[in-house]
Each structure stands twice: as C-alpha cells, then as structure tokens.
Structure 1
C-alpha cells in the first residue's frame, strides 16, 4: 500500500492539482495549507493547517506521513530559512521521502535571483540524507500570458533568449507520478519543461493569434525594466526577481527542453499554442 503522502501548498495551483490526482489514484493523501476554508474544498478527508515558519505546527501536521511533496514558499528574503524550517520539521515528524518543487537552472549564482533560493534549499535537503526527488520547473505558460499587458505589449530584458515554459497540469501530473512510485525516483532531478523553447517574440505572436489582435514583444534594457516596474511599489528584492527572471532567459538559462514530463507521465507536455486554445481565460485581458 502507498504510504501516506502529505502535500503542502495544497490550495495553490500545483499543490491542489497534486492532491486531486493522488485522490483519484486512491492514494492516502493529507493536504496541508494555511486556509482551513480552502482546504475543506479539496477531495481529501485528511487536511491540516500549518505554515512553514511554525516548526511545531509542521511537525504535528506531518506526523504519520511517509512522503512529503514540498511546494516552495512564497518569495521573500527569508525563503531559504523558511524552507529549512519546514524540511527539518518534516524529518522530525518521521517523513522518509521528500519531493521538492524547485526551479530550472537552480544554482548559487543563477541569474534569476529566486532560483538561488531553490539551490540552497536543495543543498539543505541533500545534507539531511533523506531520499529526495527534485522537480525543477521552467516558467509557467499561464504566467507568460499574464506578463503581457492589456496594451498587447510583452516587455522585458529577455533579449533573443528562449524559454520552454510548462503547464501547471503537466508539473502536477509529473509530481503525482513520482509520489506514487514509492521511491523509484529517489535521488533524481528532473527538469520540468514544455516541448519547445520559444523566444519572447514567438510567445507574443502565439498570444496574438489566440487573442485575434496584435501582440508584440518589446525588449528592454535592465534600466528600462526597473523603470517600467517602479510604479508597482514593490520592494527592491521583488523587482529584482521580476527583472532577473527575464535576464535568465537572455543568458540562455531557460532554454532547456526536457523529456521528463513524457518520461514520468507517459504523455508529451502541452505546447504553448495548445494551452492557449484550451485556456482562453489566461489571455482574457487581451480580448476585453
């Protein structure tokens, strides 16, 4: 029998999908999150409320779980410490396997500042000796649509770089497959990507075809990117993350195309054009 699988971030875009897939497979699943109301809407009879920062609450919430799907915490200056607290609490609770949702090209000096957090988190998980699997997500296809303004302009310092964006559904299906495999993927790191690496000009063209209106990509310099985002009132570390996510595309750190989704799920990942056709709500702001 499959061990009890705990899923964090269970009310989010990935965690919720993973809970549903595990429940459909008949696996024992425990959904963890911070909002009891949202947790109650999930197809999981076993739900617990806890936040990563609260070690005692995490230990209690994970008691009896054999495997943990750890969705990364919200971005912030202390995210690595938050992840470390959650991992240590899981091991103290007796969790024997961790599947961590990381990020493509995670490295200590990654261009994308948030990807550095993922590398340090991976290193901590490795250091504990617990069996692990890392799923390194590319950008999400829905986010590419959301990054485009209502004016039909996709702007950023991505240069001529390419990104093989992936869907939430493909990542969730891959994660569920790993969790259901009872350790068959221990020690593995998988790059979660779509089937094609597209330039931002090609992404804009695809959005334009789907929306039935002109959509264009306007490259920015780093200085222009910071200036165009200054009006959001976000803290410096957050704006740096936004801008560096485009710069990572320009440096070639996001052009990886992997067969991991097919390997893990038995089906190919969804192309961007197919995603847009299936999810018109993702670009509704371009048609209003």
Structure 2
C-alpha cells in the first residue's frame, strides 16, 4: 500500500490532533509527523512517523513522497524561527508540493506581538522557496480565554480597551480540514481566521462570569506592572516579551478585525467565545 501523500504535523497537540481526527473521520489517509510516535493519536488510515522540526534529515525522510503538508507552527521557543526554516527547507528537498502553514493574525515584521514577527518571517521563507502555500492566520484562541483569568478571577494585562476577535480551535480545525481536502483551490491564499465578534477583555470577563457562574473582572495593567507581575515565573526575556506583547497588540488594535473566512471555508457561522466556553468541561 503506498504511503499517504498528505502529512499532518503537530498531531499530539490540541490543534493538529483536531485536524488529524477530522481527516480520519473523512477516511483521508495521512501521515502524522511527530516527535514521539507513541503519543500520536491512533486513527484509522493514519501512520505515525518520527521527526522533529530541527532534524533536517528526519524531516526529509518523513516527508518523502508527500504532496501536501500541514505545518502547525512549532512550540514557542527562542529558536522557533530557525526550526521553521529547517523544516521548510527539508520539505523542499523532500519534493513537497504544497505547504499549509498555521500562522498568526497580523503577521508582520513590525507586529506588536513579538511572536507574530516570527510567523511573518516563516511565511516569507516559504514564499521564497517557490512552494505552493496556504497560510491560516489565527487570531488568539477562544479556548484560552478562561486561562486569562487568575485564581482570583481577575484578567490582568496591558490591553487597555482594545479588542480581539478570538477564534475557536474547532473552527480552525474545520477550516484547515476543508483546505486539506481540496488544497489546489486554496493555492496562494492567506486566510485570517477569527470568531464572529471582537471582544475587549472586560467583555471577555463578562462572558466568563455569565457562562461559568463565577465573578471574573478585568484589570488593565501598565506595561511596567505587567512585567513586574510576571517576573516571579522565572521565564526568559523573550517569553516575557511574548506574554506582555499579546496584550499590547490588543491595546494597539492589531487583533481587532472580524473576518468571514471561517464561514466561507466551513459553510457555517464562526463560534462565539461564549459558545466555546459553554462547551468546555466545568472548571
């Protein structure tokens, strides 16, 4: 039996795993390129293959014969951009034809959110190779909104009165699955994936209060307060900058735009933060 020509990365994670399961439900053969095959989901028609993004030779072997690859962005790290470039170069060497890359909303060289700059440079590297590509630029995950509140029920951050169009991971997975089923129809496309509305963090706190039955509030920090309140985690500077700039990007209005890409790709409305939270198990 020939190797599947569709490869999905990140299948041990929340987003890649969702996409792999959707493809399996549609009887689409796939290879799951993962660092730990023993952790890969056991799915019909799915073959786990071991490779990490920074292992050029392993990626070349894992992608041999592949036509379309879903490239879920690597875990946040100081060298993530270098890992992405290694992976993309290996995809070219392996003869991959089309790369579908999970990027970030507003990816730009001067984006306020520091990690969105890495996504921009990854996109540019993919473009420079001549590979066919599709970019999915996700807004902040709606699924993470409950985690913004501390144990005291307060969301703290320097987001001012800015808004974000939080997007459901299930919506992203449905959109990605639609693209992977007919990749040629999406060559060269860049999709901004958002929810159906933009919310301020005060409004997000109100949603959590109503849906979860607990009191959640928003406290707008200054940038100085934001760094000070996170200093005790002992995180490296790049990670602190990423955490804080998530909020300053909201304050600057860089995540405040609703797109129609989710309904266009999935054929149904995008999911609200309230409905995402309602679908979560009780905290």
- Aligned partners of 2:100 and 2:135 also within 8 Å: yes
SS across alignment from 2:57:
helix
Query: Match of 1:109?
Result: 110
CA contact (8 A) 1:125 1:132 kept: yes
Number of the residue aligned with 1:86: 87
CA distances 1:121-179 after superposition (whole Å, capped 9, x unpaired): 00000001111000000000121111111100001000000001011100011001111
Do the aligned partners of 2:163 and 2:201 also contact (CA within 8 Å) in 1?
yes
Q: Secondary structure at the match of 1:65?
A: coil
Which ranges of structure 2 fall in alignment gaps of 5 or more residues? none
1:176 partner SS: helix
Within-5 A mapping of 1:126-275: 126-275=127-276
Displacement after TM superposition at 1:280 (Å) = 3.5
- In structure 1, list runs of 5 or more residues that go unmatched: none
Q: TM-score, normalised by structure 1?
A: 0.95
Segment drifting more, 26-35 vs 157-166: 26-35
SS in 2 for 1:184: helix
Matched residues, number: 280
CA contact (8 A) 1:31 1:44 kept: no
Q: TM-score, normalised to structure 2's length?
A: 0.96
Whole-Å separation in 1 of the counterparts to 2:90 and 2:183? 21
Runs of 4+, deviation exceeding 4 Å: none
Q: What is the RMSD computed on CA atoms of the aligned residues?
A: 1.1
Deviations 1:235-274 (A, max 9, x none): 1110110000000000000001011011111011111111
Structure 2 residue aligned with 1:67? 68
Secondary structure at 2:76 match in 1: coil
1:182 Cα shift? 3.2
Distance 2:159 2:116 in 1: 16
- Counterpart contact for 1:158–1:249, Cα < 8 Å: yes
